[in-house]
Amino acid sequence: MKTKKIMIALMLLTVGTAWAENFPKDSLKIVDIEEVVVIATPKENRKLRDLPMAATVLSQENMRANQVNSVKKLTGIVPNLFIPDYGSKLTTSIYIRGIGSRINTPSVGLYVDNIPYIDKSAFDFNYADIERIDVLRGPQGTLYGRNTMGGLIKVHTKSPFTYQGTDIRMGAATYNNYNVSLTHYHRTSDRFAFSTGGFYEHTGGFFENSARNNEKVDKSNAGGGRFRGIYLPTSNLKIDMALSYEYSDQGGYPYYYTGITPSAIAKAKEKGKEMTEDRADYIGKISYNDRSSYRRGLLNTGVNIEYQAQNFILSAVTGYQNLNDRM
């Protein structure tokens, strides 16, 4: 029995040696290199999913599916974001995680193609040619400075280097609502491309003014245009120019009379007086003697110059905003 076991072991050893000689040898090599230093790119140039922050990105498909045509439509779509609608474009207060401001300077910033929009009355504009919206939650003052304590909303329009042709959009809805926009994207060469377009939208209104023959209180008209040009003088220099103008004319907010409040009756009793309702016919009715409206002319322009050196990126942004409104 011992002799058989030894013979079997020798046979297995011979077969294993022959199989190893026919099998390819290990090609693994070890190479010693010097120390490698990795330089990270700026925060705004990295992918949002790689950053340690809470962010939401809305693509064109997301905006189209949720009918996002202005910044106020982001409420209910983006987590921790609330933008109240006060009935006009007079002011747009943005709250992220409960941080925001209704008056004075905003606590949440808004950038369009890397150009800041400073005044809250300029936040609500037409989103006809928007490609993507990034919502960054939390303080962003390190890179974007003032007015970003609560967060930042970055709006990106379509690049004329990426999109080519003409984009036409038309829409209609009940209550005499319709809109139309046209934008053309053209690349003249490998160094220059531009986009230009305009839009018009009309809202017939819903609420009626009983004091003026039931005419609509909240009807509105808006129109404007936008131009963007990108010039690449060299392979590492980019000049991005933008110009937009928008005019809007909105009706007044539809307030109505609710009657004498219980607090007013209680105060009158404290003074020994009695209050009686003498305008009962107006309760629940919108009744304005004169028309009310809010008109706004908004001009935004800016230049973004970016130079990519071997070891750093230099970016200079200059913007100008003119807001002419009347209530």
Q: Decide if 14 is inside a domain.
A: no
Domain count, the chain: 1
- For residue 50, what pLDDT is reported? 66
Is 262 among the domain residues? no
The pLDDT profile of the chain, 327 residues, written as one tens digit per residue, is 444 444 444 444 444 555 455 555 555 666 666 665 554 444 455 566 666 778 889 888 888 888 888 898 898 889 999 998 887 888 888 999 999 888 888 889 999 998 988 888 889 998 888 999 999 999 988 888 888 889 999 999 999 999 999 999 999 999 999 999 999 999 999 999 999 999 999 999 999 998 889 999 999 999 999 999 999 999 999 999 999 999 999 998 788 888 888 888 888 888 888 888 888 888 888 888 888 889 999 999 999 999 999 889 999 999 999 999 998
Spatial separation of the C-alpha atoms in residues 126 and 73, rounded to whole Å = 11
Q: With respect to residue 142, please indicate whether it lies within any of the assigned structural domains.
A: yes
Q: Is residue 2 part of a domain?
A: no
Asked, for residue 33, whether it belongs to a domain, the answer is no
Output the pLDDT for position 80. 92
Q: What is the pLDDT of residue 134?
A: 93
The pLDDT value given to residue 260: 87
Task: Give a yes or no: residue 24 inside a domain.
Answer: no
For residue 12, the model assigns a pLDDT of 46
Specify the pLDDT at position 185.
Answer: 96
Rounded distance, CA 117 to CA 108, Å? 11
In the chain, the largest separation of any two C-alpha atoms, in whole Å, equals: 126
188 found inside a domain: yes
pLDDT of residue 237: 95
State the pTM of this model: 0.74
Q: What is the 3-class SS of the chain, one letter each residue?
A: CHHHHHHHHHHHHHHHHHHHHHCCCCCCCCCCCCCCCCCCCCHHHCCHHHCCCEEEEECHHHHHHCCCCCHHHHCCCCCCEECCCCCCCCCCCCEECCECCCCCCCCEEEEECCEEECCHHHCCCCCCCEEEEEEEECCCHHHHCCCCCCEEEEEEECCCCCCCEEEEEEEEECCCEEEEEEEEEEECCCCEEEEEEEEEEEECCCCEEHHHCCEECCCEEEEEEEEEEEEEEECCEEEEEEEEEEEEEEECCCCCECCCCHHHHHHHHHCCCCCCCCCHHHECCCCCCCCCEEEEEEEEEEEEEEEECCCCEEEEEEEEEEEEEEC
Task: Assign residue 220 the CATH number of its domain.
Answer: 2.40.170.20
The answer to whether residue 278 is domain-embedded is no
Q: What range does the domain containing 103 cover?
A: 43-253+292-326
Whole-number Å distance between alpha carbons of 203 and 176: 6
